[in-house]
Amino acid sequence: MVRISLPAARRYEASPGPPCEAGNEVSRPSRGVKWPTVLVIGLHRGMDTLHLRAEADAILAELVGAPEGSARLREDQWQAVEALVRERRRALVVQRTGWGKSAVYFVATALLRRRGSGPTVIISPLLALMRNQVGSAARAGIQARTINSANPEEWDTIYQEVERGETDVLLVSPERLNSVDFRDQVLPRLAATTGLLVVDEAHCISDWGHDFRPDYRRLRAMLAELPAGVPVLATTATANARVTADVAEQLGTGAGQALVLRGPLERESLRLGVVRLPDAAHRLGWLAEHLGELQGSGIIYTLTVAAAEEATAFLRGRGFDVSSYTGKTENADRLQAETDLQENRVKALVATSALGMGFDKPDLGFVVHLGSPSSPIAYYQQVGRAGRGVEHADVLLLPGKEDEAIWRYFADTAFPPEAQVRQTLAALADAGRPLSVPALEAAVDLRRSRLESMLKVLDVDGAVRRVKGGWTATGAEWVYDAERYAWVAEQRAAEQQAMRDYASTAGCRMEFLRRQLDDEDAAPCGRCDNCAGPWADATVSAEVVTGATKELDRPGVEVEPRRMWPTGMAALGIDLKGRIPAKEQCSTGRALGRLSDIGWGNRLRPLLAENAPDGPVPDDVLKAAVSVLADWARSPGGWAVDGPDASARPVGVVAVPSLARPRLVGSLAEGIAAVGRLPFLGTLTHTGPDGVRAARRSNSAQRVKALSGAFAVPKDLAGALAASPGPVLLVDDCTESGWTLAIAARLLRRAGSGDVLPLVLAAGG
């Protein structure tokens, strides 16, 4: 045998006879010697590999819009494609953002479709990601369609296209996996015909991950039902060692061990920094003064919807083209905002985590965080949107004193105590019929979001099942994994501490983030503000700070009234159902601000904290409340003397009784009455137990149950209402659910008052 050593990439071209791969060597027999059968198999495999690689690179060129022959998959990308197409394996790819994970599954899709495989199914979490991927696929001649909450009118047509073989890629939101019709009718057909299953943002599968989504766990059932030989690809940029192991174990369901391809998470284009400023006004002012200095267009992340709206309004007022992008943004407006950013028609999107995953703009020049996320892993993911196709991008964190208060406000994510879980299972078992989530609220004291999340976990565990009409108990034995749930809660606390440490570290910031993701190759980046010295100017002019202060100090947000009673109140012995009669509703009210905003929210959170001392309303707060009242009076439908409807002027002020802050609420109501020259008519009587306070963050049914019968209209107040019928101002400190105002308004309207106009210090959310 003559052995010739050649570079691996040239094995086939350089050999005078059919090659056989042996490391980096090519072997051929001497003259007259027959090729062994095993060697011939190796020859064909080598030829197939080279042909497959050339075909894959050609598809990549189409995908990225490059001339034929000018694009080539990197070796790690090729390894993933080869595992999927030739070996039909299950693989988990953990690689940095911008590495090219979507190129892997689109190239693999094209190769598999050419070889007769069924369509690729991609489980994708966000609409922005779906839209980007559909556009990318089209460049390579791949027909992609999406199934999500934004296009239900297209679902039937899309299903028919899939069955006719006209669709190459079907992108499905994870929430569809929890739809009864989709799970029972569509999912089995997809599992039987799919040629490749892709799970994007696969860290969502694991409840150890920073963004666990119960709907993702249903993929375990789909994985178990896939025919033998159907490849599976899971991708993420944000999985530490434990999450990686958990996802890999789930991928291996029914198919042996999954291949894990994990690379270094360095982002050489990113320059990270932290700018510490004294308050929210200085941070807004910094944005207004320095945003124009940042390269290209980018994203400004905020922790809350309210903060996004505040920052957007202020920056627009300073002449910047920016758009707000939050969970409350209408789908059409989201699409327009994404397009405007893609085409650089705006300087920035001011966004919440609604834009956290999936938005793909290779030339994104910067990411600024107005407030710290509660997890460094989530932070790494969000900043990873920048610098994917440019050499340099700036990443800045502007932490705020209010960040941790906002973390606590939204921290109600722990799995419920066992007693509440058992109570839910018992309610479903005893019902003898499916129960909707609103109906379950009458039996279980959990807010709707937590109740829905718990049911999804129980469904994945096999204890409940979603059916037409709601949920049923399966009767299967279920074990409460207290140790696991406690560990997850501890993990969340550890992530918050790590984020504090990131903001204050004197070490390399990129290395810090990479170590949070268990990146063994983590090392100093040489670019961040700690490695290379501060690079962001932290100065803000007094004039800009003054303008930001005025913007944040402007009080007043609308408070929408409740219009429908919760479902299932009859089961609690309370005769309330359907629409609240118009003559018993309260009107749209006003609040100084939201607890989640960075303006008045920062002032109100300490005042209304559970452990805050009770006392008279502070002068600045009372002054702001009067200002809100004055603006309200002059608004359309207001009651100012020179306004559109002076006959709607309130005849007096009524206070809601407060167990926690009676002096605060009482002095606020009396102060409003005095300044507005209105009679203070009195305070409703509190007749209920202290449990009303405990139920403050309960679901609607439990909240109404706790409030029903908790208040009464005292005789002197009833007499005053009868003597001077007309609108009244109803004053309270805070409204989160709106049910206290609804119950109090119903009592007052029944006692003879006119419209009830709520005025509160703070609105939740």
How confident is the model over 538-583, as pLDDT tens digits? 999 999 999 999 888 889 999 999 999 988 888 888 999 899 999 9
Residue 289 pLDDT = 95
Selected from 3.30.479, 1.10.730, 2.60.40, 3.40.50, the CATH number assigned to the domain covering 554-763 reads 3.40.50
- The Cα 286–Cα 369 span in angstroms is 12
Residue 492 half-sphere exposure toward CB, CA atoms < 13 A: 17
Residue 418 pLDDT = 92
Q: What is the CATH number of domain 73-262?
A: 3.40.50.300
**H or E segment and range at residue 395:** strand 393-398
- The Cα 528–Cα 273 span in angstroms is 6
Higher pLDDT, 715 or 689: 715
Mean pLDDT of the chain: 84
Residue 146: strand, helix, or coil:
strand
Residue 563 pLDDT = 92
Residue 422: strand, helix, or coil:
helix
Q: For residue 15, what pLDDT band results from cuts at 50, 70 and 90? A: very low
What pTM, to 2 d.p., does this model score?
A: 0.80
| Average pLDDT score over residue span 20-35 | 35
Residue 211 half-sphere exposure toward CB, CA atoms < 13 A: 24
Residue with tokens 């279920």: 478
Instruction: Answer yes or no: are the C-beta atoms of 283 and 294 closer than 8 Å.
Output: no
First-to-last C-alpha distance (Å) of the chain: 77
Higher pLDDT, 77 or 217: 77
Q: Is the pLDDT of residue 762 over 90?
A: yes
Residue 46 pLDDT = 57
Lowest mean pLDDT among 9-23, 64-78, 200-214, 720-734: 9-23
Residue 131 pLDDT = 65
What are the backbone dihedrals phi and psi of residue 37, each rounded to the nearest 5 degrees, phi first? -60, -45
Same fold flag, 73-262 and 554-763? yes
Residue with tokens 């267009």: 297
**H or E segment and range at residue 26:** strand 25-28
Torsion angle in degrees (nearest 10) through CA of 265, 267, 268, 270:
-150
Domain ranges of the chain: 1-72, 73-262, 554-763
How confident is the model over 391-426, as pLDDT tens digits? 999 999 999 988 988 888 776 667 888 999 999 999
- The Cα 200–Cα 101 span in angstroms is 9
